[in-house]
Structure 1
Amino acid sequence: MRSPFLRRGLVALALLLGGLATAPARAQNADPSFNVVNRAGRTIQELYVSSAQENAWGQDLLGRNVLQNGRSFPVRLPTGQCVNDIRVVYEGGQSEERRALDTCPLNEVVFGQGAQASPGAGKGGGAAAPGQTGNPSFNLVNRTRKTIQVLRASPSSESNWGDDRLGDAVVAPGGTFAVRLPVGECTYDIRVEYDDRAAEERRAVNLCSVSNVTFP
């Protein structure tokens, strides 16, 4: 018969081995990195990934590169940042998003398998239908010779501009900045302020029908 001390020792050893066996799996599950796979039949020109808790898309991860159909692109994220929003912009300006996606258990995020892409256009859209809702996120494109230092965008139903959506960023001449807005109202007023203190506005823009808003 085994002594109580021996039984206790065996139990402790089993618990220790069990903890060691599960440690790598836990570490692996906390890794949110993944590959974006393009199966849309067209080129992805921009890629944005940010924590679902953030209110801005940040920088285009592709930079000067593009993601051709059938290719993949690795996205590296900080350990533990599991719930993320992902946005791709295709050639021609159409975009597609995945919101609040848990990427920790995933190896790949595939675009183009029957998902609907929101239509894109040039400077501004036509007026939205009354009560129309959708995704008003857009790219601010600076085609002027001045730096945009402030961007304000608010629903046309509101009476104030709200906070600067660039934060600490600026948009240099020729630059682009991805602006993420909450899903809901489509019609927005947009105001930019330049480094020479001049300002320019667009009123009642249907952002749900465009991907890019270009100044001038």
Structure 2
Amino acid sequence: MLKSLSLSALITAGLITGAMAQSVKPPSNGGMRAPQQQQRGLTVVNRSDTVLYRLFVFRQGGAEGPDRLGQNVVPSGRSFQLQLGRVQDCRVMVRSVFQDESEETRAVDICAEQQLVLTDEGRRDVQLDNATDATLMQVFLIPRGESDPGPDRLGSSMVAPGEHFRIRLRNFAACDVTVRASFAGLPAETREVNICNQPQVAFGDPSIPLREVPIVNRSSIVLYELYAIPMAEGAAPQQNPNWGPDRLGANVIGAGRDFSMRIRSGECRARVRAVFQNRREEIRDNVNICQPQPVVFQGARRLAIGNLYERPITGMYLSPVEERDWGSNQINEPLRQNGTAELGTDGGCRADLRIVFDNESAEELRNFDMCRNAAITLRPGWVTEARQ
């Protein structure tokens, strides 16, 4: 009885098991499982001399997607471990973009290769010489016959007057190109160049001397813009001239600070115009730029000083009465006997004046009226005279 039940149970179980087996749909691949996708990675090694800024990995013909470096960059001589996750296709495209906006794209088999080495092999260089008076802001190299200007070859850089810049070209086959350059404050330049035969492009005329002139802001207001144009010897200043580019570029000259202005000119005279933050302007005519002395811009109110003391004066300070600080020294060299100087301030009529001698002794005139007394002669008793 028990054996019969056991056999019956086994038969019943076998039937049930068979029924269950028949109810399961067999796999379409004949019972074999699909292989699982593996985690893939790629080590990017930068053996070029330029910082790697961006990196894109994508299927050929597909969207590039995000920059795989994120907030990172890969300096020259360094490497970066790229985690690609589970990918279906082994063959991908990798686009590398460098700091100078040069780039290269290559196909990589990430199943067979675990390392991508970036070098300067096959790179071409083109040197830019900025012999103009203005900052070079953008440069495009356009293969002849094409309309797409491509990337700005300066990247995030700018080329100051008299400076040089090297463009690095990767995967750039064209020799005949249109060079388009834009400047700060000057018209753009376009020219046709064969960069294979002539890998150097100069803007402006390097044969014209480049002069440097010290500019000093003795006012209490920031000097925002600075212009300069050559003047022929003995020529009268033009009315409403074309002042050209702002010589400061992205700079400003703070109160009491100085700046070395560059101007390319065959003439020894120039006209210089300063524009302050409050839009006040000052112009200096016939500035000698061949043997330059500092060009000093004072405040809106002027005070003429004459020195009759035998002892040289090494410091002169003029400031509004409401200011606690004397500000900067308004003379660049000692004022000797019978010498004259002009001081300036941007305050009201009431001002304080302090003079310092070469032996560090000092004399002061407080709260005097510059609007009533715009000239002072320094001699024994001058403080009392100025108050009368």
Length-normalised TM-score, structure 1: 0.43
Structure with more relative contact order (C-alpha pairs < 8 Å, separation 6 or more)? 1
Larger Rg: 2
Q: Point out the structure with the larger strand share.
A: 2
Q: Point out the structure with the larger helix share.
A: 1
